Amino acid sequence: MRVLGVDPGLTRCGLGVVDGDGGRQVRCVLVDVARSPAGAEVAARLLVVAEAVEKAIRIYRPEVVAVERVFSQANVSTVMGTAQASGVVALVAARAGLPVVFHTPSEVKAAVTGSGRAGKQQVTAMVTRLLGLAEKPSPADAADALALAICHCWRGPMIDRLAAAKATSNQLAKAHRARLAAAAKEER
């Protein structure tokens, strides 16, 4: 499975492509950061994000895009920019026909380090170790993007199985309700 992980942001948007073998083995294919000046117009900054994600999709052909879910922050303008960047990433992926999966920061940290409360340094150290990188990805946005991709490589198959089980359960429940309604009708 090839996953494009995206740590959305306006100033720095981390991009990481990771190949997973269905087990615990993962391999780094790309680590990058799309940057835009803090003083630039929001639309221009979002265009930088869109173009970087489009390029990564076109060149590396991931099967899925894993994006960090926006969470509440004290700084409203930061969370707004992150949400806007996330929306652009989801749109670009959808236009490319790719599924988009959102993971919370604590999910990603737990998957990569074993603790949902791990710090940035712990995440970076584990990403470096898990991918066998010669040096730590920098800045932290790059490491976070790789961590998102690793998280999805490991959790994606389980998420897919749960979704399939839920769909089967819903179909069985619908058929059961129909049988019950038919039986109730016959009794009248």
Q: Could you list the active site residues? A: 7, 68, 141
Q: Looking at this protein, which amino acid is placed at residue 125?
A: A
140-146-151 Cα angle (round to 5) = 120
Cα dihedral 37→42→45→51 (10° resolution) = -170
